Structure 1
């Protein structure tokens, strides 16, 4: 019953996100070429929505330069993913590793049968086995909660909207105000799409990891390490990487006040405090 509720909720969110993205691109087309531009914009709108729905996972993985790995290459990581997915009665996700030195991890995909778990090389160097297991449990919590589709679609669309709006803004507009308008609306729409990935999803995935592994304090320790490491070595806030950040277990950027305001992640201190209160939780059944 709970799974069905999550599915229905995420289907509504995905529809709303696709509709918002469509409106932004059509508005950009109208700003560039009036009714003709609006009609022309229909083609990239349909293409963008299709790409976001069917290939959002590949867009996220490629933005991190991630590559699929086998149990021969990364035996401990793949074994942890397989064992925890089996315990949760989930299809075993594909496992990817990104060469990025900033420690982080994310899950992506359209559904549990087409899911992937990606970790960075920085995370593998930073965490011990218990902490890595807890982080993988968190990502599988996203898969089990069926929120990977909406987050992956939102991330992909945010990236594509920024690209489309920039192209439109620097095209042949009829007046300078059109360019200025598009440059304001595009980033705002991308931010709103990412904000639809509610912070509660991180709390729910944290709780799933705590129940699954029986070690909420291991995840708390991992989050502390990730937060400290990000302060020292943040992910470059490039347009290609910013949307993918919403998928990650921890905010990978060293942000200021505005960055924290629009962050899709709750504070590390609050997450750690919740996990510490969960220290007596039983294992996943």
Structure 2
């Protein structure tokens, strides 16, 4: 047992009141450990297993699919960012959405690709990668761990983590998918994307126009097909204006 980290999350003991009390106290302690003892490498390993489970639950575009080929063309220069290998896949789902996880996985939905230009998609990829580089996705995984079903991690601190069961991976996948970032994190990811675009010689105003499209689709309510991508985000129109204001200060032209 020495140097082992055992994390028991969301496991309900059905026994005596004393056992229930002990379990609730123990769970609170172990939830704290989930945030403290897991290394970034372990969080990435768990994230990889969770997103692999997501991939089994969604229709993934194959390598010869036009959506995959288009995305590969857009991101061909950005397979590794800030030393982090990025793996991209397209979900053949009509929702307007995209997300990233702590292991560097980025998933783009068909519905988003249908409404965005190549430049706008790259800007959104920059935003999602920003969440990874800024460790927002790491914190989201730790939060998902605290909300998930029973998970037993018997790995040494900083070591490899064993395979999750399907139910455990599904619980984590659901937790990650429902995770939301703070407005500060969203703003910082916007700033990362802006810098990413400018550093690589792309049009930074594509980030603004992508937000304007989302604002138009949501009708200012965050509802309908774009609910997932805008519901927890700052107002899309205000984000667009913020980017345009920054570009103007920087002397950026179309």
The answer to whether the superposition gives a TM-score over 0.5 is yes
Partner of 1:178: none
CA shift for structure 1 position 142? 1.8
The 8 Å contact of residues 131 and 218 in structure 1, kept in 2 or not, is answered as: yes
Partner of 2:73: 79
| RMSD across aligned positions (CA) | 4.1
Q: What is the SS of the residue equivalent to 1:83?
A: coil
The 8 Å contact of residues 183 and 234 in structure 2, kept in 1 or not, is answered as: yes
CA, structure 1 residues 156+131, in 2 after alignment: closer, same or farther (shift >3 Å)?
farther
1:33 and 1:85 map into 2 onto residues whose CA distance is 54
Query: Aligned ranges for residues 96-107 of structure 1 at < 5 Å?
Result: 96-107=89-100
* Residue 268 (structure 1) aligned to one of 226, 233, 236: 236
CA shift for structure 1 position 71? 5.6
1:152 and 1:84 map into 2 onto residues whose CA distance is 24
CA shift for structure 1 position 154? 2.1
Partner of 2:131: 142
1:56 and 1:46 map into 2 onto residues whose CA distance is 19
Partner of 1:220: 208
- The number of residue pairs the alignment matches comes to 199
Partner of 2:18: 35
Give the gaps of 5 or more residues in structure 2.
1-6, 151-174
Q: Is 1:278–2:215 an aligned residue pair?
A: no
Q: Is 1:209–2:193 an aligned residue pair?
A: yes
CA shift for structure 1 position 145? 1.8
Structure 1 residues 86-106: Cα deviation after superposition (integer angstroms, max 9, x where no partner): 5x4433311122233111111
1:71 and 1:266 map into 2 onto residues whose CA distance is 34
The 8 Å contact of residues 134 and 213 in structure 1, kept in 2 or not, is answered as: yes
The 8 Å contact of residues 107 and 140 in structure 1, kept in 2 or not, is answered as: yes
